């Protein structure tokens, strides 16, 4: 939300937000925008340049993102934000399993679920890259993390989608807590197409 508020406060910045988890809190976002607003860029003008779509699964997300191809070029920076890709993938798995019902054994179901999910993820990645290339739009996609059972470290984590999504991204940033009661976060660049990794910086989250 902080990134979105900063983009909206810039010269004609536009945000296209795809919410799969219903975690875009209006009051919190309004407060962030108020901190960035100026006489030149009042909050009403900022919010008018933000488009929000709620998506339930990957197919819904694909349809929503494909619609961006028809959006005329806009002045100023433009950013697409998806929060989050993992939630959409998880819902897609549930929908696919429901469609299959009792007509397939467990192994067949797992293969069909993986194929369905991977096909939609590949399609989504292709659309994102097309939009980024032809429209000069930045794309930010949040993922979940899950415990890394293959690691020797007890507190090791890995991206929820793992290898199924890793090929699609140019940069991966991991945000982790310093401690449970701390407002500080460690932001680490763990994958980059042209910068050395890993690189980290500490930030503080305002209450």
pLDDT tens digits, 1-16: 999 999 999 878 999 9
pLDDT of amino acid 194: 86
The reply to whether 21 and 67 lie within a common domain is yes
The reply to whether 87 and 175 lie within a common domain is no
- Tally the domains of the chain: 2
- Assess whether pLDDT exceeds 60 at residue 102: no
Mean pLDDT calculated for residue range 24-37:
91
The reply to whether 150 and 175 lie within a common domain is no
Where in the sequence is the domain holding 183, given as residue range(s)? Answer: 170-206
The reply to whether 133 and 202 lie within a common domain is no
- Please, are residues 124 and 167 in contact by the beta-carbon 8 Å criterion? no
Summarised one tens digit per residue, pLDDT across range 121-176 is 999 999 999 999 999 999 999 998 876 766 666 566 778 887 778 888 999 999 98
The reply to whether 112 and 131 lie within a common domain is yes
- Assess whether pLDDT exceeds 70 at residue 99: no
Dihedral of CA atoms 7, 181, 191, 24 in degrees, nearest 10, equals -40
198 Cα distance to chain centroid = 21
Burial group, residue 202, by CB count within 10 angstroms (0-12, 13-18, 19+): exposed
pLDDT of amino acid 14: 94
Of 132, 142, 140, give the one whose Cα is nearest residue 69: 132
Phi, psi of 197 (to 5 degrees): -135, 155
pLDDT of amino acid 6: 92
The reply to whether 139 and 187 lie within a common domain is no
Summarised one tens digit per residue, pLDDT across range 42-97 is 899 999 999 999 999 999 999 999 999 998 887 778 999 999 999 998 888 777 66
The reply to whether 9 and 31 lie within a common domain is yes
The reply to whether 186 and 124 lie within a common domain is no
Residue 54 belongs to a domain with what CATH number? 3.40.50.300
The reply to whether 143 and 180 lie within a common domain is no
Residue 59 lies in a domain: yes
Question: Higher-confidence residue: 82 or 99?
Answer: 82
pLDDT of amino acid 16: 96
Mean pLDDT check: name the lowest of 78-82, 91-95, 98-102, 109-113. Answer: 98-102
CB neighbour list of residue 92: distance below 8 Å, 6 or more residues apart: 57, 58, 59, 116, 117, 120
Placement of tokens 């290339």 in the chain: 133
pLDDT band at 31 (very low <50, low <70, confident <90, very high): very high
- Secondary structure string (H, E, C) spanning 49-87: CEEEEECCCHHHHHHHHHHHHHCCCCCCCEEEEEECHHH
| pTM summary value | 0.86
């Amino acid at each position: 939300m902080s990134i979105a508020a900063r983009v909206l406060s810039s010269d004609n910045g536009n945000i296209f937000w795809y919410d799969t988890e219903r975690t875009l809190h209006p009051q919190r976002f309004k407060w962030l925008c108020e901190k960035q607003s100026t006489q030149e860029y009042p909050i009403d003008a900022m919010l008018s340049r933000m488009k929000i779509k709620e998506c339930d699964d990957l197919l819904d997300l694909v349809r929503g993102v494909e619609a961006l191809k028809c959006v005329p070029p806009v002045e100023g920076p433009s950013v697409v934000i998806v929060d989050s890709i993992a939630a959409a993938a998880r819902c897609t798995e549930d929908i696919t399993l429901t469609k299959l019902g009792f007509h397939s054994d467990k192994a067949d179901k797992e293969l069909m679920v993986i194929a369905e999910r991977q096909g939609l993820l590949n399609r989504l990645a292709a659309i994102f890259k097309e939009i980024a290339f032809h429209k000069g739009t930045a794309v930010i996609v949040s993922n979940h993390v899950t415990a890394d059972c293959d690691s020797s470290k007890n507190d090791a984590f890995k991206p929820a989608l793992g290898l199924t999504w890793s090929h699609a991204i140019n940069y991966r940033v991991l945000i982790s807590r310093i401690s449970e009661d701390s407002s500080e976060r460690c932001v680490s660049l763990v994958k980059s197409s042209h910068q050395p990794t890993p690189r980290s910086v500490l930030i503080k989250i305002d209450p």
